[in-house]
Amino acid sequence: MPLKILGLNHTTAPVDIREQVIYAGDAIPRALAEIVTLSGVGEAVMLSTCNRTEIYVEADAEGAAALMEWLKADQNLSAEAQAALFEIGDEAAVRHLFRVACGLDSMIL
């Protein structure tokens, strides 16, 4: 299954919107346990900081759609927060992952 990323970050949402979608502490293991039970989702990793909440999944198209619906429901996302979400997949997702891991997608370099 291909890599998909769903999330928002400092380039897609202002801080007040990012604060609506933060996962911290025990919320992360709970969320990941729920995500991997979604149809079409294999594995999952979550990165949630003050500047981004991104969910990286091994998922097919059905899994990616299920993840979007799960996130909307789990966080009770406002229309504004939903509009700030991004979805990327395949090569673009791998490129984004490496940019985040290297700090190239940070607010401050």
Look up residue 61 and give its two tokens. 């198209």
Q: How far apart are CA 65 and CA 3, in angstroms?
A: 13
Q: How far apart are CA 23 and CA 31, in angstroms?
A: 8
Active site residue 102: no
> Closest Cα to residue 51, out of 98, 11, 91?
11
CB atoms closer than 10 angstroms to residue 44: 20
The residue count of the chain comes to: 109
The DSSP secondary-structure symbol of 87 reads E
| Active-site hit among 22, 33, 50, 107 | 50
Question: So which residues are the catalytic ones?
Answer: 50
